[in-house]
Each structure stands twice: as structure tokens, then as C-alpha cells.
């Protein structure tokens, strides 16, 4: 279900905070279209640090692995990254669907080390919202439908007090890839 307990504004606020603290940059230097790598100087380990902060804040599990890694696991080695370490045409097509306008700069044949630069602040917000939207209708502990926010960023059951359990980010990416493949037969 698409949850409405944690408003998008709260997610944006917490994502900005995690980026500012994780990258140790000035508040106000983060814009929705800022590329974490190109504009804010992030490296791969910084993504994990930012993810960890957001996981602690919202009680969720974000994707540990890149969408390219999932593609290769699901559709075969070298389906997304060729033997020269470059993006395949099919992977570029899939990424453009995933990232919409943000993926406009993606081209087949580009070095995969350049791909993470398409991740923007907005992409991170979307990733968090995607996981939060996996909130089940009912509490998995007591079966009640009584979700309530705690401290503005955690969702707990108003009946038994247990925190909500969300689908993890990697599973959601794989689900999305599966659906996209069934619809468009890209691979």
C-alpha cells in the first residue's frame, strides 16, 4: 500500500540531514537534483553511510546492492556490464526506466564507474519512499490495522506497540526488475 503516515516532506528532511551529516557538508548545499558523487563529493562508502543513517531513522532496510548487480544476478553475467566493464544497451534501457529524467545521461558503452553519478538526492528520497510504501496493511504481530507514527519517522502498531516491518530494498528492486522484464522483455 502507499503509506501516508510518514509524509514525503519528512523523508526529504531526513534524507537531506543524512547527506549533510554523512558527507560533512554545509546545510543548504543539498538540492533535489544534486548528484551525490558529481556535486556533493560522495564516494561508494558514503552511500552506505547515508543509507545506514536513513535505516536507523526510519527502521527500514534499503538496498545493499546496486540495480546493476541485481540485473546480472537475475538475467545473467555480462547482461548489464560487458567484459570491458561498460554498460550494456539493455541495462541502459532498464536504468532509464528506473531513473526517468535523472537517467537521461545514461548511454550504452559508458564506464560503469560513471553510472553511480546519476544518483541524486531525489533518487535517495524515492528509494526510502519505495521501502516505506511496502508497509503491510496489518501489523504482522497482532493483525491490527492501527499504524501510528512515532517521533515523526518510525511507524509502530497502535495496538501492540510493535514496529512495522517493511520489505527490504533489495527485494523491492528485484520485484521491480521482474515486473519490468515481464512487461517489456528487455533482457
CB of 144 to other proteins, least distance (A): 26
Taken in order 95, 21, 30, 14, is the CA torsion positive or negative? positive
Q: How far is the CB of 110 from other proteins (least distance, A)?
A: 17
Residue 170 is a binding residue for other proteins (CB under 8 A):
no
Closest separation in Å from C-beta 31 to other proteins: 21
Q: Which of 1, 2, 28, 77 binds other proteins (CB under 8 A)?
A: 77
One of 72, 91, 147, 164 touching other proteins (CB under 8 A):
72
Size, binding site for other proteins by CB under 8 A: 15
Compute the least distance from the CB of residue 80 to other proteins, in Å. 10
* Residue 24 binds to other proteins (criterion: CB under 8 A): no
Q: Give the per-residue contact string, 35-64, with other proteins (x = CB under 8 A; - = no).
A: ------x-x-x--xx-xx--x--------x
DSSP the chain: ----SS-HHHHHHHHHHHHHHHHT--TT---TT-BTTTTT---HHHHHHHHHHHHHHHT----SS-HHHHHHHHH-TTSSB-TTSBB-HHHHHHHHHHHGGGGTT--TT-BGGGGGGG-BHHHHHHHHHHHHTT--SS-TTT----EEEETTTEEEETTT-PBP-PPPHHHHHHHHHHHHHHHH---
Among 6, 19, 54, 81, binds other proteins (CB under 8 A): 81
- Smaller CB separation from other proteins, 59 or 158: 59
Torsion angle (degrees, nearest 10) of CA 57, 58, 61, 67: -90
Question: Which residues, 88 to 127, sit near other proteins by CB under 8 A?
Answer: none
Contact 49, 59 (CB under 8 A): no
Q: Which of 65, 100, 111, 161 binds other proteins (CB under 8 A)?
A: 65
Which residues contact other proteins (rule: CB under 8 A)? 41, 43, 45, 48-49, 51-52, 55, 64-65, 69, 72-73, 77, 81
Amino acid at each position: 500500500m502507499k503509506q501516508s503516515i510518514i509524509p514525503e516532506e519528512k523523508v526529504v528532511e531526513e534524507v537531506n540531514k543524512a547527506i549533510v551529516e554523512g558527507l560533512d557538508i554545509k546545510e543548504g548545499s543539498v538540492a533535489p537534483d544534486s548528484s551525490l558523487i558529481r556535486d556533493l563529493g560522495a564516494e561508494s562508502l558514503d552511500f552506505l553511510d547515508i543509507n545506514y543513517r536513513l535505516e536507523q531513522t526510519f527502521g527500514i532496510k534499503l538496498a545493499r546492492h546496486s540495480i546493476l548487480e541485481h540485473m546480472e544476478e537475475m538475467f545473467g553475467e555480462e547482461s548489464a556490464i560487458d567484459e570491458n566493464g561498460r554498460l550494456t544497451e539493455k541495462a541502459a534501457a532498464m536504468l532509464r526506466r528506473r531513473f526517468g529524467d535523472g537517467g537521461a545521461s545514461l548511454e550504452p558503452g559508458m564506464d560503469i564507474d560513471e553510472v553511480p553519478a546519476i544518483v541524486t538526492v531525489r533518487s535517495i528520497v524515492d528509494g526510502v519512499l519505495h521501502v516505506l510504501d511496502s508497509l503491510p496493511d496489518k501489523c504482522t504481530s497482532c493483525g491490527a490495522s492501527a499504524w501510528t507514527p512515532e517521533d515523526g519517522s518510525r511507524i509502530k502498531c497502535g495496538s501492540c506497540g510493535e514496529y512495522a516491518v517493511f520489505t527490504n530494498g533489495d527485494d523491492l528492486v528485484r520485484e521491480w526488475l521482474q515486473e519490468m522484464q515481464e512487461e517489456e522483455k528487455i533482457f
